[in-house]
A and B are shown apart, each in its own frame.
Chain A
Amino acid sequence: MTGSTLLRRIAPQLLTLAAVIVLVSIYYPAFYQIVYVNDRLVGIPIDVIKRGAPVALLAIGMTLVIATRGIDLSVGAVMAICGASAAWSIDQGYGIGAALGIAGAAGLVCGLWNGVLVAFFGIQPIVATLILMVAGRGVAQLITGGTILTFDSDTFAFLGSGTMIGVPVPTVIWILTGIGFGLLVRRTALGLLVESIGVNLRASTLAGINSRVLLIAVYMGSGFCAALAGVIATADIRGADANNAGLWLELDAILAVVIGGNSLLGGRFSILASLLGAMIIQTINTGILLAGFPSEFNLVIKAVLVIVILVLQSPRFMPYLELLASRFKRSSVTRLEAGE
């Protein structure tokens, strides 16, 4: 993708993000303030890119799954499983490396399970992943013993609340993961093959694509992203909360992908746009907290904003926006000419 086509692809998301930021700063004018204290950057934008880490990570994997015309409802529960595994490993004294390895392996195994159900047994993705969505939290509770499993490891906690040259570690993790996955799918042929099976699985198989293995790999990718998100959520509160870790985040992740302009019918995808979608959602969440409305309004405000965004991005509405944009361009050109 060349620079200009990429820009055209993510333009709606950039505009939406800008609009949401402007809206929030109306209620909270100090939005843009970023200061550097105690070796860390502090400010609302920093909060957004830190708090948005779990959804951003989930959105990376979810984008690929959705590109294959699938969906992964289990990521929230997988977060809980992987967070619990990591906390358990630390608690057992296995050390940070082993804990991360076990959490990552748990995520990959969960993805393998989903992928096999979808690719080999032909179960509809929404049903296949629903199984783990429901059962996964139970598995996580078994690991934590039903309590909030706390641990004492500053190294591990660093992943949730530490900073690197002032930037929160969760932010570093999601940006690096996004770049990593982006390079993986665009510098190899994976992206093309994933889009191909998403548009037409049968034709792709007949063209020689190993669609089963590819589908499984995509669900495993999603599981791995969920593992990273689970590790961050667990490290953040220094404890694995099997009941609440990642609760309902699968829905936010799907929403991020949709706001990112990716079709639920599969095919063309953009990880970058999904990440922008995740940041849009997080800006809304943080904005609601800052605005100081009573809690009862939180979900309503979020829902209204999401509806407005989706309507503005809908195929019915886009032509009007483009028309408006072209008019604006023309009138600004004429104004320029008049000025000269």
Chain B
Amino acid sequence: MLLSTRDLTKSFPGTIALDRVNFGLKAGEVHALLGENGAGKSTLIKCLTGAYRRDSGDILFEGKPIFPQSTLEAQAIGIGTVYQEVNLLPNLTVAENLTLGHQPTRFGMIRPRAMQALAQEMLAGYGLDIDVRRPLESYSVAVQQIVAIARAVHLSGRVLILDEPTASLDAREVQMLFDVVRDLRGRGLGIIFISHFLDQVFEISDSLTILRNGRHIATHPAADVDRMQLITLMLGRELEEETSVRYRPEVTGTSADAIRFTGVGRRGRIAPFDLTVRKGEVIGMAGLLGSGRTESAEVLFGAVPSDSGTVEDANGAVDLRNPRSAIAAGFAFAPEDRKTDGIIAELSVRENIILALQARQGWARPIPQAEQQRMADDYIARLDIRTPDAEKPVGLLSGGNQQKVILARWLATNPRFLILDEPTRGIDVGAHAEILRLIEDVVAQGMSILVISSELEELVAVSHRVIVVRDRRHVSELTGADVSPDTILRAIAAPHTTLEAMA
């Protein structure tokens, strides 16, 4: 093994980001690292490159333990990294970028000729014919990527980590990059490749390692795994026993009092789609990360307003220009990223709970202190929010409790349509079950819910029907007996099926 980890563990307050992860990279292979958001990929990379310090476990380079304290040290050992956002200086020349920090000098002065020669030499073999004296920014992102790779390979030379290198490249540029990667593999480098594009993963990788919730799930030769298996491994099927009892109350509403979205969408984010939400209905939404799930939710809530279509209910058109009007229409949205989009970390649990209701009432009609206290205590008890008191800053609570506070915030507005984007991600099993139970409770009272989740069993357990999203389109809708993890997986994985074919 060129580079390997043994029982590598890293935790942050509230979560274990890496839990005894074993990983091995051979010389001369391209090894893909796969997992949904929060699986632990970037934490693993940051531990390998010295950006994070591990809590426990070993990192072995050619069998010897190493302790990189910074990316520079990791580079010196032989581990170089290239990120999605090129980490070079766009206004310097290609040559300066390549040689920065180790320019050939004489008496302390940089020798421009020698620097250019060195840069030419570093770029040799990458199939680039560019003028190294021009600023880096005058070239395409793909060329910049390759320059970054050339620099990383020159400085480290043994292991190359590519973190989402193709995210902003077009198909031709991807091929250009892959030619370089294959060539480097031929030269005996070990390459770790991270990407959300499964086609690319299968095209370039020799081995696959799948992480989920900070744990190592599997490592296979790429040829032994198919798309379906890979997605199954990535999304996991852990909840099977726990939520096997399906509790799905009857949908109480009729199509007459439903909210009807017709042809809503947003150019470049999610293709126009139709959706009818009846009272007391739970609609699941499944799809891989970046498939358009969150984008759908943002359109439905007016966070990124729709640029087409209409929304109507029994009373006529519904205004969804922005979150404020959506909330006025009785909508609520618990976003995927709690930290940046959900909680107001510095404010207390009480203030976080009353926030949406207060915003809807307007600044001039403050909720009386006693009423705030009563609401906070009520929800703390009802949702079993673990906090010493209602005045604790919400940022100090654990992830699961933060999620419950956000749910409380929305329940306090008594919405008719609640959108939950990954409501159970990154929270412990106990809180997980409680949140699912809560969904059932409020649905029984006639609330409509849209749940977006990567946990298929969870979706199956709570949803009346499931919409599958792929490549920023709603590709199929599963109802009745079709609502099962297997059918969902197949719909997500099917590379070229259409809505009609699935139905």
Does B384 lie at the interface of the complex (its beta carbon under 8 Å from any beta carbon of A)? no
Query: A200 vs B340: C-alpha distance in the bound complex, in angstroms?
Result: 7
In the complex, B364 has a CB within 8 A of chain A: yes
Is residue B333 within 8 Å, beta carbon to beta carbon, of the partner chain? yes
Residues of A within 8 A of B409 (CB): 207
Taking the complex as formed, is B122 at the interface, i.e. its CB lies under 8 A from any CB of chain A? no
Q: Complex Cα distance A202/B333, Å? A: 13
Instruction: List CB contacts (< 8 Å) of A185-211 with chain B.
Output: 187-190, 192-193, 195-196, 199-200, 202-210
> Which residues of chain A come closer than 8 Å to B322, judged between CB atoms?
205
Q: Is B460's beta carbon under 8 Å from chain A?
A: no
Contact A205 B323 (CB under 8 A): yes
B340 and A193 contacting across the interface, CB-CB below 8 Å:
no
| Interchain CB contact (< 8 A) of B366 among A189, A200, A267 | A189
Smallest CB separation, A1 vs chain B (Å): 10
Q: Is the CB of B346 within 8 A of A188?
A: no
Let me know if A137 is at the binding interface, CB within 8 A: no
Looking across the interface, which residue of chain B has its beta carbon closest to that of A263?
Answer: B346
Which residues of B sit under 8 angstroms from A205, Cβ to Cβ? 303, 322-323
Is A268 at the interface (CB under 8 A from chain B)?
yes
Residue of A nearest to B364 (CB): A188
- Tell me if B365 is interfacial: C-beta within 8 Å of chain A: yes
User: Which B-chain residue is minimally distant from A187 (CB atoms)?
Assistant: B366
**Bound form: Cα–Cα A137–B100 in Å:** 45
Number of A interface residues in the complex (CB < 8 A): 22
Known: A189-B367, A208-B324, A210-B324. A203 touches B356 (CB 8 A): no
Closest to A268 in B: B346
A206/B341 in contact, CB under 8 A: yes
CB contact list, B382-429 vs A, under 8 A: 409
B323 and A208 contact, CB distance less than 8 A:
yes
Among A187, A190, A196, A210, the residue within 8 A (CB) of B344 is A196
Tell me whether B359 is interfacial, beta carbon within 8 Å: yes
Known: A189-B367, A203-B344; 17 extra A-B contacts, CB below 8 A, are A188-B366, A189-B363, A190-B363, A192-B351, A192-B358, A192-B366, A199-B347, A200-B344, A202-B340, A203-B335, A204-B344, A206-B323, A206-B335, A207-B409, A208-B360, A209-B324, A210-B324
27 residue pairs from A and B, CB less than 8 Å apart: A188-B364, A188-B366, A189-B367, A190-B363, A192-B347, A193-B358, A193-B359, A195-B344, A195-B347, A202-B340, A202-B341, A203-B335, A203-B341, A203-B342, A204-B344, A204-B355, A204-B359, A205-B322, A207-B323, A207-B355, A207-B356, A207-B409, A208-B323, A208-B328, A209-B359, A210-B359, A268-B346
Interface residues of A (CB under 8 A from B): 187-190, 192-193, 195-196, 199-200, 202-210, 214, 267-268
